[in-house]
Structure 1
Amino acid sequence: MTFETRHYFLAFLFFFFASRCFGQDELKSIELKKIMAGIEKQHNVKFSYSENDVAGHSIFPPNVNLPLKAKLVYLSNRTLLNFKEKDRYIIVFTNLVKPKDRHVCAYVTDEFGQPIDNAVIVYNGEKKIVTAIDGYFELPPAFKDSVYVTHIGYDEAHVKPTGAPDDDCLHITLKITVTQLQEVVAERYIATGISKKKDGSYAIKPRKFGILPGLIEPDVLQAMQQLPGINSTDETVSNINVRGGTHDQNLFMWNGIRLFQTGHFFGLISALSPNLAHDIKISKNGTSAFYGESVSSAVDISSRPKDIGSGTTSIGSNMISADFYTKIKASEKANFEVSARRSFTDALDFPTYSKYSKRIFQNTVVTGLDNSTDVNYKSDKEFYFYDFTTQYHQKIGTKHDLYTDVIGIGNKLDFTQGTITATNVVTQMSTLNQLTLGGTVTWRTQWNENHSTEAGIYASYYKVDGKNASIEYNQVTLQENNILDTGLRVSDNLKLNQNFTLHSGYQFNEIGNENTDKVNQPDYSRNVKEVLRTHAIIGEVEFTPTQSRLYARAGLRANYIEDFTMLYFEPRVVVNYTFNDKWKLELLGERKSQTAAQIVNLQGDFLGIEKRRWVLANDKDIPVQKSSQASVGATFKDRGWLVTVDNFYKKVDGITTFGQAFQDQLELVQAPGNYTVYGTEFLVQKQFKHIYMWLSYSWNNNNYRFEGVEPYRFPSSFELSHVVNSAVIYEWDHLKIALGSKFYTGKPYTAPLINSPTFSNAGTPSVVYTYPNSENIANFFQANFSASYTWQLPKKVSMQLGVAVQNVFNRQNIINRYYRINTTGDGVEVVNTYSLERTPNALIKFSF
């Protein structure tokens, strides 16, 4: 027998006999006291009993995944003892309830063993009850008829609760519903609560969200960066790059309101409260024709449930902010939802805030643009942020729903510079403010099961203003950027027959933009106002036969811009074919456009922190951006394995150099151009009973072409050629743990040709550069960790504790590099921007 053969043989013996030994051990009876001790630890309860009552009882232990009440029924059936719950105490009696008085019990889970709460149980024709948070329910004593179990998103079930062995609680499993657009290609895509749909989009349900490395809350903008092809070159949620695009090329919508601001703390924290969203849809390609104004991805966030539901409240805090959410059921046909969040960084300075401050204020006016050293920006009321939402849902009759939504987002930064002269103390205060306000009213009608209509009006306002007061030059610079987006939308959905559904609609949009700059020394002022009005007619046909392996959707969006008298068409197409239970093929294609974009005039604008400003296309030096994209992908799913591959090609025309935030010889050059990107996205995932492991890899080749710029073709500033994400996630009962890492090759930058400056005729020094983006900074690697645990407390209260650590190994990653003339004017110096240092965070949240 060879050396290798002996090792294989020993390994076989170990696994074979070890598994049998452990399996036999599980079948051994255990003392009742030990079983109750385990239940006490798992469910945070306390048994109260007499030693004489429990002595001598030794039984097989119940399944650890059973709900608490189901375990008590299990114990009672085998010991003839009675277990009565009172708050968190369980009192044990010897007088067993008579069989005719015993309640019938069951618990409901999904196909993966996760409990389903709020499932509706219908019995005796019309009586209804709902399952608890652990999926448990009880019926009247001696009930023997069938019951009807239903829940949105799952197939209905007709069962007899008395079918349980030994009269224990029956385990009822609901299968995920396979319906139009809700059918999934992959459930639990990367994490619980994330799935991939048949139309190529990704769905995130925050209320069912599991856990991801580095996150302690279901932050949609952070979570979407885990998907292949979606990254951020500077690790912020205000600079999300989807398949090589810039952040402004993504469409972010909340209940039909377009958001022009997505981040707090200038991008390190999502501006969207994690308490709110019910459904989030992310499309990288094959976007529905109802989405316009983006040449990259579309992120549609809806917090509008179809049903009134019941009231709920949560309150929580992490090391940056505190939040509050409540849903109030005003009547059987109306409810209110209110959420609010505010940071306490102007009062408390936790380590999380210190690390965030050090990251975001690097190489800005706050830390000194000339020397990049920290100044005292941690003064009272230096920085804070807030956000709030209010929602009202009114059902009118049996067919109509009225929704009203309001959102507000704010960031405020104040800091003071001071110096001592021979005669007095001189101080100057600089400020930076961001504000978003939005509102919408929507009417939805379900005429019948085959026909529905929706109409709504909306408004979205965004403002950023900065005041930069310089002590050195006694100069005050005021800058302001405003954008107002208003419009109306009408859509109609008509099921023509069993195979085809027609979606049609009309959208009108008016967007106004204003940019203002004022300087006192030298005296200078500029004010530019622009307005664009756009009409869109949408038609879309969906092919969803119940007995076919083919799913298809084809749409056409016709846009007309009044101000340019410009008419153009945008086709969209999705084809998904299922070969068998394991293999699916996906073809996606689209053309899209947008009229609003962000540019950077100067790197020092708005204190160098939020230096981008929104502008509108003028059909001259700022053209309408247009994109064309096609992709083909395949999915394999079998025995807990999931493998997906997507190959794509995308071209975007109408970009400008100002929109790419160059920090080299192109910083002050205004030139139109395009970028072309193609690549591959790959994901492999393995699911065990409580463990999920996944690894994703993205490769892309992204290149610019600008008129009059040499060379003719060069790498994009947002090219990350190779990106690898990985994670191991453990979820069991109320415990969740995630450990993961992110690796990507460094982004391109432009190096100087020589290390000494050249001087103009006027004696002004400047840097002489090589070709743009001809070098790459060092590779990026970061490991992240997070964990959470939820306790069920008395009176239907739950408490969640969570911890997270970003950059566990405290690696000093460079995420940006540029060059400038040093303060003495006789040398060229390098300026590096570093990623977030090791940053801890913690969460506590109560829900009731």
Structure 2
Amino acid sequence: MRKFIFLLCFLFIYKFVSAEDIILKYNSVTINRILSDLSIRYSTSLSFNESNLSEYKISIDGKYSTVEQAIAALLVNLPFRIKKIENVIVITPFNSNSIVSNRDSNNEIKSESKISVKKYIKGIIMSAVNGEKLPYAYISLRGKGYYSDIDGGFTIVLQDDIPVSQENRVEGTISYLGFTTVNVNLELSENNRIYINPAISFLDTVTVKAYLNSKAMQSGSIAGLIRVNYNIAKFLPGNGDNSVFNLLRMMPGVRSSGEPSFLSVWGSTNGESVIRIDGFRLFSLNNFNEQISSINPFIVKEIALNKGGYNATKGDATGAIVDIIGIDGDAYRPVFKANINNLTMNLFASAPLVNRSVIMASYRQTYYNLYDIDKLNPYGRGSENSSLSTQNDVYIKPDYSFRDLNLRFSSLLTPRSNLAASFYYAQDNFNYTLDYGDNSYDARESNNQYAFSLKLDKDWSDVGGKTSITGHYSSNTLDAENIKKYRSQNLLSFLTENLIGECGAEITHKINTGNNGNLDAGFSYKWLFGNHNGINDASGKIGAFVNENLVIRNFYINLGLRLDRFLGNSYFQPRLQGTYKISDQFKITAGVGLYNQFINKVPFIDNSNNYSYIWKIADNDNVPVISALHTVLGASFSKKGWLLTTEGFFKKSSDVLRFGRYRGSADVVKTNIEVMGVDILIDKEIKGSNVFISTSLSRVNEHYQSLNLPKKEYTPFEIKTGAVIALSPFYISSTFVFGSGYINPYKNALGDDPVSNDYKRFDISLNYRLTRAKFSIEAGLSVLNLFNNSNYKYIDALPFASGGQSGVLNIYSQAVPFTPIVSVQIVF
């Protein structure tokens, strides 16, 4: 242990005292490669044409005091000029009509060739810190907006109203969540490579007027879509290991009340909304509101919440879709990260290999508290496992544990092709003890999830277009032992084994169609498989989509069609999105579409009248394919750090399975559910600080297709506020959630009022951040549920029979009580 501590101290001291001179030591390396290395190693924003500079190889060995001097040494006697526009170093040719194509072995110019003027601008946007490709970066050219793709690439066909300079360049700006907005000069060519810096600089000698939390949220550009700056999640109250979900739960439309163990958006039921990372689906989400989430924050690059009305490229869901894009890793230096607190531990390491390849690994787990949280609770000890508090209520204190492993690999095979592989394993255990009379009875649930994905991207610049081939596998196995109360005398147990999974492949291709339009087309095959208590189920599904993106003056139009073939039936799903840009500040968005879902988590009642929720594949009989219609209409305004968005939504889902109760007996019935509501988000950023308010008000109507049950109607409501105050190097943050009108999942199997109590929770935190050129240290203190509000989380329902009467016992646990958390994070 002492040797390990000594080694860490040595590494820190070595990195801290290392000279900051710019060192160039290369032997016959192309200049574009050297510039890319410079940008990564010294956090410098560069703009240059890769194809121009890739023609030149150089051998150099020197030391320079600034990046500008180093670049000047590289370009001496070459026909290029260096300009600095704000914080971006721009390299352009002296004469835009000719460049040197190659040089002989004596480094002399052999010939010149004319450059043909392109009709489009093509390139890639990357982080200047570690070379990460930046997906969905925003590119503005004379008031017109464009986005990079999932791999940071962009292709823009120039229209006549965008002026081109005499050097065949176009002025514009590039912005990305959490990064500095930069002015750039993009050349009419295929290989613009733009490096931009995060909105905070680690160089002590440089003062940058930008902040880590800048551009905290992006909403209102596309109907139903919210993109969030992951950097802000680090400073929200909590320990960091649940920062992904902790941020999502504060977004409008995402349910926080009752702390459900699944993602619920716009009234979606358990399993209806989908979380995907690197192309595979996560099935086990028991920890959505626990202090460790299914997503390791160390591997996250991009978070996109598609609440509804999304385009035809996304399928197999009738609820929301959360797309999480994993990091590519630092291709130039090893990286180590550790986050340790009194509840969890998280370790991450990555190392570069040959040819810009990176291997990454991360591991997390929960463990017993380092101290007794109850002893620090000024309001008294938390609730213990207890006997019945009322005739129909049981309050328990569960024990939850979690661990996961992530292995990742990314490689730049060629300048125009990428390979990425990802492996995921997670295990969680949920246990509680129910005291009944003189006896104690244990209930348990265990989930094991395995997932793997492999993706190959190929850019066909010579013939146009981009192709992606993805293969994936994901499965989750549930093993549970639940309690059943029988005849008011005995507590018996029943076992549940449930497997669900999918594996398959997809090929997609994107081509440019002119006038800044592009066409996406894809074909996929999935094998769906499952098992419930020894009964196997499996089906194949074929899918295809075509999606056209058009930019016509101030209109952005996305028109698509998705077709799924399943169990001999065809499911056509047309979809339409549109954005009208009234001005640079004001936009109107709309989206409408049909959606289908073929795997869901459904209510189940066995022959012994035991209630549970299990994963099932649709069979067009007992488990129908869910169909949904989404309609979204919104408006947004952004100016001087203000972001105001409002979205009205209507969602109609058909053939959703619900518990129903008729004449004293419970059953599972098909239900049509209509959800209508409005989301509002107000966000203000000023000098690195951020304050936001989000609210969601909706009305839900449930119409049962049988049992002659009356229509159910309820009105969920939530208001959430958050603030991150930057007093660098200190950050103070707080969040507050109030919610009412939500229901528990077993509502119609019960005889009492299904609407839950009001939910209130206030969290606060203080964080300290120390950054140096080679390492950073963060320390935080958070208090969750500062005022110890009595919130309860619905866990399960126990059916029972007594004196010829049947009923249900509700099992609750206390939601997050007063909980102090101390955490430390180290990165080098």
TM-score, structure 2 length as denominator?
0.70
Q: Give the 3-state SS of the residue equivalent to 2:448 in structure 1.
A: strand
2:758 paired with 1:779? yes
Contact 2:393 2:811 in 1 (8 A): no
Q: Give the 3-state SS of the residue equivalent to 2:666 in structure 1.
A: coil
Q: Residues 211-255 of structure 1: CA distance to partner in whole angstroms, max 9, x if unpaired?
A: 33556457222211211111134214x322211111311121111
- State the distance in 2 between where 1:733 and 1:603 align: 58
Contact 2:545 2:561 in 1 (8 A): yes
Q: Residues 21-43 of structure 1: CA distance to partner in whole angstroms, max 9, x if unpaired?
A: xxxxxxxxxxxxxxxxxxxxxxx
Amino acid at match of 1:319: N
Q: Which residue of 2 aligns with 1:811?
A: 789
Q: Unaligned stretches of 5+ in structure 2? A: 1-12, 20-41, 59-64, 74-79, 93-127, 129-136, 150-173, 179-211
Q: Residues 350-384 of structure 1: CA distance to partner in whole angstroms, max 9, x if unpaired?
A: 529999xx99997899x999873658x7xxxx753
Task: Select the residue among 583, 589, 599 that pairs with 1:586.
Answer: 589
Contact 1:686 1:693 in 2 (8 A): yes
Amino acid at match of 1:542: N
- State the distance in 2 between where 1:142 and 1:387 align: 44
Task: Select the residue among 487, 493, 496 that pairs with 1:479.
Answer: 496
Q: Residues 423-478 of structure 1: CA distance to partner in whole angstroms, max 9, x if unpaired?
A: xxx99876431100011122111111841101121111100102358998695533
Contact 2:658 2:669 in 1 (8 A): yes
Q: Which residue of 1 aligns with 2:454?
A: 441
Q: Give the aligned length.
A: 667
Amino acid at match of 1:298: I
Amino acid at match of 1:550: F
Amino acid at match of 1:443: L
Q: CA deviation at 1:692?
A: 2.3
Q: Give the 3-state SS of the residue equivalent to 2:514 in structure 1.
A: coil
Q: Which residue of 2 aligns with 1:693?
A: 691
Q: Which residue of 2 aligns with 1:324?
A: 347
Which deviates more, 485-494 or 290-299?
Answer: 290-299
Task: Select the residue among 566, 572, 594 that pairs with 2:569.
Answer: 566
Q: Residues 574-599 of structure 1: CA distance to partner in whole angstroms, max 9, x if unpaired?
A: 11111112211101112111011112
Greater fraction of residues in helix: 1
Q: Which has the larger radius of gyration?
A: 1
Q: Which residue of 2 aligns with 1:103?
A: none
- Listed as ranges, the matches of 1:41-60 within 5 Å are none
Q: Which residue of 1 aligns with 2:546?
A: 539
Q: CA deviation at 1:387?
A: 0.6
2:570 paired with 1:553? no
- State the distance in 2 between where 1:391 and 1:752 align: 42
Task: Select the residue among 508, 511, 522 that pairs with 2:528.
Answer: 511
Q: Give the 3-state SS of the residue equivalent to 2:247 in structure 1.
A: helix
Contact 1:410 1:433 in 2 (8 A): yes
Contact 2:792 2:814 in 1 (8 A): yes
Higher RCO, 1 or 2 (CA under 8 Å, sep at least 6)? Answer: 2
Q: CA deviation at 1:176?
A: 6.1
- State the distance in 1 between where 2:241 and 2:704 align: 42
Amino acid at match of 1:119: S
Describe the shift of the 1:293–1:285 C-alpha distance in structure 2 as closer, same or farther (beyond 3 A): same
Identity of paired residues, percent? 16
Task: Select the residue among 303, 306, 309 that pairs with 1:280.
Answer: 303
Q: CA deviation at 1:740?
A: 2.6
Describe the shift of the 1:739–1:445 C-alpha distance in structure 2 as closer, same or farther (beyond 3 A): same
Q: Give the 3-state SS of the residue equivalent to 2:621 in structure 1.
A: coil
- State the distance in 1 between where 2:808 and 2:774 align: 64
- Listed as ranges, the matches of 1:421-820 within 5 Å are 431-448=444-461, 450-467=464-481, 477-516=494-533, 527-544=534-551, 548-561=553-566, 563=567, 565-601=568-604, 611-658=612-659, 668-715=666-713, 719-720=715-716, 722-748=717-743, 773=754, 776-792=755-771, 796-814=774-792
Contact 1:469 1:476 in 2 (8 A): yes
Q: Which residue of 2 aligns with 1:19?
A: none
- State the distance in 2 between where 1:363 and 1:607 align: 22
Q: Which residue of 1 aligns with 2:254?
A: 230
Q: Residues 715-757 of structure 1: CA distance to partner in whole angstroms, max 9, x if unpaired?
A: 25xx51x21111232124333221231112232579999xxxx
Q: CA deviation at 1:699?
A: 1.1
Q: Give the 3-state SS of the residue equivalent to 1:177 in structure 2.
A: strand
Describe the shift of the 1:701–1:362 C-alpha distance in structure 2 as closer, same or farther (beyond 3 A): farther
Q: CA deviation at 1:305?
A: 3.0
Q: Which residue of 1 aligns with 2:401?
A: 384
Amino acid at match of 2:564: N
Contact 1:319 1:350 in 2 (8 A): no
- State the distance in 2 between where 1:605 and 1:302 align: 44
Which deviates more, 597-606 or 684-693?
Answer: 597-606
Q: CA deviation at 1:535?
A: 0.7
- State the distance in 2 between where 1:372 and 1:675 align: 30
Contact 1:211 1:218 in 2 (8 A): no
- State the distance in 2 between where 1:682 and 1:841 align: 31
Q: CA deviation at 1:819?
A: 9.7
Q: Residues 105-129 of structure 1: CA distance to partner in whole angstroms, max 9, x if unpaired?
A: xxxxxxxxxxx9453488997899x
- State the distance in 1 between where 2:294 and 2:745 align: 33
Q: Give the 3-state SS of the residue equivalent to 1:221 in structure 2.
A: helix
Amino acid at match of 1:477: F
Q: Residues 756-797 of structure 1: CA distance to partner in whole angstroms, max 9, x if unpaired?
A: xxxxxxxxxx9865xx75xx444322211123221125x712
Q: Give the 3-state SS of the residue equivalent to 2:147 in structure 1.
A: coil
Q: Which residue of 1 aligns with 2:815?
A: 835
Q: Which residue of 1 aligns with 2:328?
A: 305
Q: Give the 3-state SS of the residue equivalent to 1:220 in structure 2.
A: helix
- State the distance in 2 between where 1:118 and 1:629 align: 44
Contact 1:603 1:663 in 2 (8 A): no
Task: Select the residue among 331, 336, 351 that pairs with 2:373.
Answer: 351
Q: CA deviation at 1:327?
A: 1.6
Amino acid at match of 1:257: F
- State the distance in 2 between where 1:226 and 1:822 align: 38
- State the distance in 1 between where 2:540 and 2:372 align: 47
Describe the shift of the 1:693–1:410 C-alpha distance in structure 2 as closer, same or farther (beyond 3 A): same
Describe the shift of the 1:637–1:475 C-alpha distance in structure 2 as closer, same or farther (beyond 3 A): closer
Amino acid at match of 2:455: T
- State the distance in 2 between where 1:750 and 1:570 align: 29
Amino acid at match of 1:701: R
- State the distance in 2 between where 1:644 and 1:691 align: 19
Q: CA deviation at 1:707?
A: 1.9
Q: Give the 3-state SS of the residue equivalent to 2:701 in structure 1.
A: strand
Amino acid at match of 1:570: Q
- State the distance in 2 between where 1:261 and 1:332 align: 36
Contact 1:633 1:647 in 2 (8 A): yes
Contact 1:295 1:627 in 2 (8 A): yes
Q: CA deviation at 1:192?
A: 5.0
Amino acid at match of 1:591: L
Q: Give the 3-state SS of the residue equivalent to 1:657 in structure 2.
A: strand
- State the distance in 1 between where 2:343 and 2:799 align: 37
Q: CA deviation at 1:310?
A: 3.8
Q: Which residue of 1 aligns with 2:192?
A: none
Amino acid at match of 2:373: P
Amino acid at match of 1:384: S
Which deviates more, 587-596 or 408-417?
Answer: 408-417
Q: Which residue of 2 aligns with 1:255?
A: 278
Which deviates more, 397-406 or 808-817?
Answer: 808-817
- State the distance in 2 between where 1:845 and 1:614 align: 37
- State the distance in 1 between where 2:411 and 2:243 align: 28
Q: CA deviation at 1:531?
A: 1.4
- State the distance in 2 between where 1:150 and 1:342 align: 46
Q: CA deviation at 1:642?
A: 2.0
